[in-house]
Amino acid sequence: NVAMAAQMTDAHRRLLQVLMSHGIMEGSETRKLHRRCCEIDKVYYAHDKLDDFISTINSHLQPLFMQIRKGMSEDDGRAHYALVNLAETEITKMASDYTENELELFRKTMDLIISSENGFASSTDILNLADQLKTKKMKKKEAEQVLKVFVEDKWLSERNGEYTLHTRCIIEMEQYILSNYPDVARKCNICHSLAIQSQVCESCGIVMHLPCVRKYFRAQTEPRCPQCNDFWACDIP
């Protein structure tokens, strides 16, 4: 397979190294990086060929059980690229960076976010879990500090005291979340990737990301569900 794959150049290696150090990069940043890598290493550059360029890297990463994946920010619908380790489940991957009770707090936070109506959990609700941890109870101050680290490490995003899963977390943990939360985790009806912040059709129950809702209904005079054609009762963002 690798023999058949397009040749890895220094430009490919350079992009991979930068992405590894960032963990995740926004689409426009990745496109700029693609151009810069090609210019520095004097490799043919085509502005519309980033995904092909990444496919080449992925074909060489395959034996290492790693992959660059493209995902979408649930806030603004922008594309992001993240380097994902396919060999380990994501929670075990986090285990090398965090203590057992920090991981338990993350799991409990994830439970709250995924089972919530809007894909967010309040800091109050999360901090209330800190002294109920089975591994080792956490003081509120300590838990606040841990949440800050989860935000810095791009596992969580925080807005006005409300937490949700960071785009990096959604891209990396999509399979884990879908298999561990089969009753509540759903895929967006439009882009078919995991939807945490979403709207639900009141008639047939399908879910759509907020950016997908915005895009889908932009062209329609009357918002109707793409699945059952009933009136879409939620407010269009």
pLDDT, mean over the chain: 91
- Cα distances (Å, whole numbers) of residue 55 to 5, 39, 41, 68, 150: 9, 19, 19, 8, 30
- Among 54-63, 66-75, 80-89, 212-221, where is mean pLDDT lowest? 80-89
Question: Which residues, 6+ apart, have CB-to-CB distance to 21 below 8 Å?
Answer: none
State how far the Cα of 94 lies from the Cα of 109, in Å rounded to an integer. Answer: 15
Burial class of residue 56 in the structure, from the number of CB atoms within 10 Å of its CB (0-12 exposed, 13-18 middle, 19+ buried): middle
Question: Residue 1: its pLDDT value, please?
Answer: 45
- Among 2-11, 93-102, 172-181, 211-220, where is mean pLDDT lowest? 2-11
Number of helices and strands (H, E) in the chain?
9, 10
State how far the Cα of 170 lies from the Cα of 198, in Å rounded to an integer. Answer: 13
pLDDT over 90 (residue 230):
yes
Question: Residue 90: its pLDDT value, please?
Answer: 65
The strand pairing partners of 69, in sequence order, are 82
Q: Is 229 left (phi over 0), alpha (psi -120 to 50) or beta?
A: left
Write down all domains in the chain, each with its CATH number in brackets: 10-64 (3.90.1150.220), 91-181 (1.10.10.10), 185-236 (3.30.40.10)
pLDDT over 90 (residue 33):
yes
Question: Residue 2: its pLDDT value, please?
Answer: 46
State how far the Cα of 74 lies from the Cα of 166, in Å rounded to an integer. Answer: 9
pLDDT in tens, 118-131: 899 999 999 999 98
Burial class of residue 134 in the structure, from the number of CB atoms within 10 Å of its CB (0-12 exposed, 13-18 middle, 19+ buried): exposed
pTM of the model: 0.87
State how far the Cα of 164 lies from the Cα of 170, in Å rounded to an integer. Answer: 10
